[in-house]
């Protein structure tokens, strides 16, 4: 608490996959795994005849200590994963093999080759290690108060606690010794104990999980809390060894689910314990140029190295994917950038790539990974073990690429993996995500069919049903999707993901109240779910509850600050509250995250022009909108049979070019043609073709208008017609005679259409990139000259009104009816 009060803190987002060697290398480099090269826990050995733990020689880029090395600074690095063999840096490195103990107490316990650099510290570092058997009952009791009652011959968990504790103490001893005895400009210490304590005993942490025996709960419920308290004590000791001019940063690479979200079982797959991880860790920093008592939002683990470089006054590599967390600083640092630190010459302290490693040390580390559950025991068939290691690395690379939004690169990797193992659903799962993200729906449908065909029925996970339902939703088969998700909800009522998908379906229909109910259920299940909470806030906003919406939105950005859509909706809520100055700030902030979000700029133009009287900013944003816009599109819309085809004919005759195809021929219902473009029907799922409509006119039915992409400017001519006439015309088109149609059209359908139009109009009113001109069909028929003039004025007086008027044929007004009340 004292540390947080004296510095700045917040959540820090992890990366996927959340595997420690990959994550800690990203922390140390500011780069994702596809750049830095650490892809999991193990890799093939140099001779390709076996497997070994990932090592420092596998890293392809410079870590922060290598960069500092080139600046003549000294670094002490202790226990970083992976850092074996220790790199020959200017300073001291103690590798992640240092604390491992594979010998009985009393036997010789040599410090393995390559664990310590420089060699002069070998003996001193060896003496600082703690063997698990050295710990007494007094050391263990704070973690397991009932330790004396446990039969250690039958229950090995007590020894596991001792082992983790001894490893932790060894790292602490080495770190504090180096802090006191060696010169340093930078100190990096990695403790794995909280991670190991949590994997071992989070299942026993209060509250008691269902299915857990009372005895196990009572014996081990204090282990995790004890681990945190012990780390707090170690932190206090380390802080006492530094002065007030030293900046201290505390980071965790991920968190742990500690509540009802804890998994009750783990899947049968490599690195299964990672399913226990929470996607946010903790970030805290204090020092002479750091704000006190403040909170930082939106931090990611790839921001750590850029922030360190900013603290040291060094340039940040443009190839680093993170950003410096300058909001933590009392004074903004001067930021410089270089192309890449990989191009900077100088002694960096990285290993020669041909370095030979100690095979016995590698074997001990492998045994440790197996014991912790991170990897399966390598196959005795060395060739098979190598193949498995390569496939795992490819899978983790694909996940890393998906997480970094490099999906095109991930797809061929996953397709190849499925060929190698057709029974591994996790490959199908990630590929399905990729296919749906890229709107490859046919490929996704076939993929799920293949999964059902290739995987044994009893081993097919419910996720197949989930993805099938998601596919229905994305291809606009909403009723099927809702039915399937509802069936899944009955089986898995505690799944926040299912609640979110049900909410999205109602959301897409603009059923805001119904969507709100599902989003609210999701936030009850998982309070930290940003997607659910943002959706809940948006539902409240669309129901004119801006104050309630803001509460949800601000909760979202506490966890996930880099969330442009959420900041945009915060601004919208502030507009509703007529807080225009604050709304402008929120829209401006949105644009720092999403510079191409044209609708935010159009809101700013309106605010600066009509409320804040800032003409300079009006001009600036208008220029930006003009630069960013992909073009102007004229849209003719309305309900089917409201006169949209006639309007398309008028506009094309008047001089506009229509985006149409010849798929639907003219008939007796539309003797002059339908003027349609087939891809419009799939607009809700695929708008990638929309650029073809730039500078043209296109017909889009009213229900699809909310699917228009936001990076175009639209002028919409919205056809209005008496609902009775629309319904009769539709019935006649379906083959009924006009007289019968007048008596039999559906009143419930009329109400449905009215509600859909109301929702569409509400959406249209909130879109700053859309101008609308309502045109009444009956008025066009009775006064075509007047309506043609309105339309021409709306479209910039570029059309031939005379030619437009000639298109209007009163004889085609065949469904004009007069119903007696």
Give phi and psi for 295, each to the nearest 5. -120, 140
pLDDT digit string (tens) for 382-434?
A: 778 888 888 999 999 999 999 999 999 999 999 999 999 999 999 999 999 99
Can you list the residues of the chain whose pLDDT is less than 50?
A: 358-360, 738, 741-743, 818-821
Show the CA angle centred on residue 615, arms to residues 613 and 617, nearest 5°.
Answer: 105
- Calpha distance 238→248 (Å, rounded): 10
- Calpha distance 115→109 (Å, rounded): 13
The answer to whether 481 and 502 have CB atoms below 8 angstroms apart is no
- Calpha distance 283→281 (Å, rounded): 7
Alpha helices (H) along 463-545: 463-474, 478-491, 496-508, 512-525, 530-542
Give phi and psi for 255, each to the nearest 5. -110, -170
Instruction: Report domain 632-812's class.
Output: alpha beta
- Calpha distance 819→821 (Å, rounded): 6
pLDDT of residue 741: 46
In CATH, what is the architecture of 2-343? 3-Layer(aba) Sandwich (3.40)
pLDDT of residue 46: 75
The answer to whether 309 and 315 have CB atoms below 8 angstroms apart is yes
- Calpha distance 423→463 (Å, rounded): 14
pLDDT digit string (tens) for 319-338?
A: 999 999 999 999 988 899 99
The beta strands (E) that lie in 683-769 are given as: 697-699, 713-720
- Calpha distance 349→69 (Å, rounded): 7
Q: Of the CATH numbers 1.25.40.10, 1.10.3720.10, 3.90.920.10, 3.40.50.620, which one belongs to the domain with range 562-628? A: 1.25.40.10
pLDDT of residue 362: 53
pLDDT of residue 819: 40
Return residue ranges of the chain for CATH 3.40.50.300: 632-812
pLDDT of residue 359: 46
- Calpha distance 510→13 (Å, rounded): 31
Whether cis (ω within 30° of 0) applies to the bond prior to 405 is no
The answer to whether 552 and 540 have CB atoms below 8 angstroms apart is yes
pLDDT of residue 763: 78
Return residue ranges of the chain for CATH 1.25.40.10: 562-628
pLDDT of residue 821: 35
- Calpha distance 584→590 (Å, rounded): 10
The residues, any chain, with a CB within 8 Å of residue 616's CB and separated by 6 or more, are none
Using DSSP's 3-state secondary structure scheme, residue 280 falls into: strand
The beta strands (E) that lie in 95-211 are given as: 116-117, 186-189
Return residue ranges of the chain for CATH 3.40.720.10: 2-343
**Burial category of 468 from C-beta neighbours within 10 Å (exposed 0-12, middle 13-18, buried 19 and up):** buried
Give phi and psi for 106, each to the nearest 5. 100, -25
Q: Are strands 8-13 and 280-286 parallel, antiparallel or unpaired?
A: antiparallel
Helix/strand/coil (H/E/C) assignment for every residue in 67-109: HHHHCCCCEEEECCCCCCCCCCCCEEEECCCCCCCCCCCCCCC
pLDDT of residue 357: 54
- Reading phi first (left if > 0) and then psi (alpha if -120 to 50, else beta), residue 639 is in beta
pLDDT of residue 374: 54
């Amino acid at each position: 608490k004292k540390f947080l009060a004296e510095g700045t803190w917040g959540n820090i987002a992890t990366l996927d996959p959340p595997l420690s060697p990959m994550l800690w290398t990203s922390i140390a480099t500011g780069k994702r795994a596809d750049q830095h090269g650490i892809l999991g826990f193990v890799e093939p050995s140099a001779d390709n005849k076996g497997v070994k733990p990932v090592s420092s020689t596998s890293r392809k880029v410079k870590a922060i200590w290598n960069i500092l090395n080139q600046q003549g600074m000294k670094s002490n690095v202790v226990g970083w994963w992976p850092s074996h063999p220790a790199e020959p840096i200017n300073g001291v490195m103690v590798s992640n093999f240092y604390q491992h103990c594979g010998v009985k107490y009393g036997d010789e316990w040599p410090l393995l080759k390559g664990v310590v650099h420089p060699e002069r510290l070998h003996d001193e570092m060896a003496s600082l290690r703690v063997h698990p058997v050295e710990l007494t009952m007094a050391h263990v009791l704070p973690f397991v108060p009932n330790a004396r009652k446990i039969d250690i011959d039958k229950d090995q968990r007590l020894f596991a606690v001792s082992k983790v504790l001894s490893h932790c103490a060894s790292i602490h001893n080495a770190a504090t010794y180096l802090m006191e005895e060696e010169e340093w400009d930078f100190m990096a210490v990695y403790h794995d104990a909280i991670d190991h304590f949590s994997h071992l005993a989070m299942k026993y942490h209060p509250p008691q999980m269902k299915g857990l025996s009372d005895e196990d709960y009572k014996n081990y419920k204090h282990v995790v809390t004890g681990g945190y308290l012990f780390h707090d004590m170690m932190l206090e000791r380390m802080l006492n060894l530094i002065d007030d001019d030293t900046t201290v940063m505390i980071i965790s690479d991920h968190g742990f689910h500690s509540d009802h979200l804890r998994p009750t079982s783990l899947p049968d797959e490599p690195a299964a314990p990672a399913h226990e991880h929470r996607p946010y860790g903790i970030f805290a920093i204090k020092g002479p140029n750091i704000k006190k008592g403040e909170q930082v939002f939106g931090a990611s683990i790839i921001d750590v190295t850029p922030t360190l470089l900013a603290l040291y006054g060094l340039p940040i590599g443009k190839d680093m994917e993170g950003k410096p967390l300058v909001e933590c600083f009392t004074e903004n640092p001067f930021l410089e950038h270089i192309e890449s630190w990989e191009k900077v010459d100088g002694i960096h302290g990285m290993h020669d790539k041909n370095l030979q490693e100690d095979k016995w040390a590698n074997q001990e580390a492998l045994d440790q990974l197996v014991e912790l559950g991170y990897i399966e025991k390598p196959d005795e068939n060395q060739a098979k073990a190598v193949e498995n290691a390569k496939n795992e690395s490819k899978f983790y690379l694909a996940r890393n690429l998906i997480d970094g939004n490099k999906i095109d690169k991930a797809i061929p990797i996953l397709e190849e993996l499925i060929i190698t193992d057709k029974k591994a659903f996790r490959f199908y799962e990630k590929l399905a995500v990729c296919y749906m993200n890229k709107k490859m729906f046919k490929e996704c449908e076939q993929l799920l069919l293949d999964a059902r065909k290739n995987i044994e029925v009893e081993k097919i996970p419910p996720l197949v049903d989930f993805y099938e339902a998601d596919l229905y939703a994305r291809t606009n088969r909403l009723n099927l999707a809702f039915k399937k998700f509802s069936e899944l909800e009955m089986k898995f009522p505690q799944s926040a993901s299912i609640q979110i998908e049900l909410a999205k379906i109602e959301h897409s229909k603009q059923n805001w109240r119904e969507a709100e109910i599902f989003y609210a259920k999701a936030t009850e299940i998982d309070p930290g779910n940003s997607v659910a909470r943002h959706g809940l806030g948006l539902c409240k906003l669309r129901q004119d509850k801006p104050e309630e919406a803001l509460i949800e939105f601000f909760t979202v950005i506490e966890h996930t600050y880099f969330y442009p859509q959420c900041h945009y909706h915060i601004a919208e809520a502030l507009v509703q509250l007529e807080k225009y100055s604050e709304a402008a700030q929120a829209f401006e902030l949105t644009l720092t995250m999403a510079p191409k979000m044209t609708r935010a700029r159009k809101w700013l133009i309106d605010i600066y022009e009509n409320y804040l009287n800032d003409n300079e900013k009006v001009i600036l944003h208008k220029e930006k909108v003009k630069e960013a816009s992909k073009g102007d599109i004229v849209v003719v819309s309305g309900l089917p049979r409201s006169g949209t085809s006639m309007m398309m004919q008028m506009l094309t005759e008047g001089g506009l070019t229509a985006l149409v195809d010849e798929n639907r021929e003219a008939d007796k219902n539309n003797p002059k043609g339908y003027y349609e473009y087939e891809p419009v029907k799939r607009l809700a799922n695929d708008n990638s073709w929309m650029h073809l409509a730039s500078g043209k006119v296109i017909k889009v039915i009213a229900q699809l208008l909310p699917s228009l992409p936001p990076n175009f400017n639209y002028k919409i001519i919205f056809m209005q017609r008496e609902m009775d006439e629309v319904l009769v015309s539709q019935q006649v088109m379906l083959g009924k005679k006009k007289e019968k149609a007048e008596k039999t059209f559906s009143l419930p359908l009329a109400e449905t259409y009215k509600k859909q139009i109301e929702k569409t109009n509400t959406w249209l009113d909130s879109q700053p990139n859309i101008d609308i001109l309502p045109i009444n069909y009956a008025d066009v028929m009775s006064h075509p000259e007047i309506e043609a003039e309105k339309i021409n004025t709306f479209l910039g007086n570029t059309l031939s009104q005379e030619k437009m008027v000639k298109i209007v044929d009163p004889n085609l007004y065949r469904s004009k009816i007069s119903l007696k009340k």
